[in-house]
Amino acid sequence: MVRESLLTKHEKKQHDHDRYKKNRASIPVVMNFGVVLIDNKNWFYKLSFEGQLLNNSHIDVIVYYLRKKAKYEVGSSYKYTTVDCVFSSKIFSI
């Protein structure tokens, strides 16, 4: 899915530019990741290829699934620590 309809010279594009041929970046069925709806292949491109800048929606999805895994996976040997908006507001007030 990610490699389908990629531009020939997509590596040289800026981070915020479209990496796909005209009108080929959209996904026909919107994907719901719990905290964000994804309807564009460029979102997955950034996860799939090295050297790409992740944005807030990528981090939100990662943290959402870490919290979900920690909540529902009983007896897991992994320990997670995530911060929430209260912590963030305290840091910004300093």
Task: Give the pLDDT score at 6.
Answer: 59
| Domain range for 17 | 10-93
- Mean pLDDT value of segment 13-18: 65
More confident site: 68 or 79: 68
In a domain? residue 1: no
Could you tell me which of 48, 44, 59, 54 has the C-alpha nearest to residue 15? 54
Chain segment 47-78, per-residue pLDDT in tens: 888 888 898 999 889 888 888 887 788 887 87
In a domain? residue 77: yes
Give the three-state DSSP class for 38.
Answer: strand
Chain segment 21-36, per-residue pLDDT in tens: 777 778 889 999 989 9
Instruction: Tell me: pLDDT of 15 over 80.
Output: no
What pairs with residue 40 in β-bridges?
26
Give me the number of domains the chain comprises: 1
Task: Give the pLDDT score at 18.
Answer: 73
